[in-house]
Amino acid sequence: MEAELKPRFIESLQRNNDQIREDRAHTIGADSELIYRRRIEDIELKIKRLEREQEGLIDISPLDRNSLTFADFQPEAFVQKDIELSLTIRNLNIQLEVAVKRFEYLFGKTF
CA distance 28 to 30: 6
This model's pTM is above 0.95: no
Give 36's pLDDT tier (boundaries 50, 70, 90). very high
Sign for the CA dihedral angle at 73, 77, 79, 83 comes to negative
pLDDT at 68 (0 to 100): 59
Sign for the CA dihedral angle at 71, 77, 83, 87 comes to negative
Instruction: Identify whether the C-beta of residue 41 lies closer than 8 Å to the C-beta of residue 99.
Output: no
- 47-93, pLDDT tens digit by residue? 999 999 999 988 776 666 666 566 677 889 999 999 999 999 999 99
CA distance 22 to 49: 40
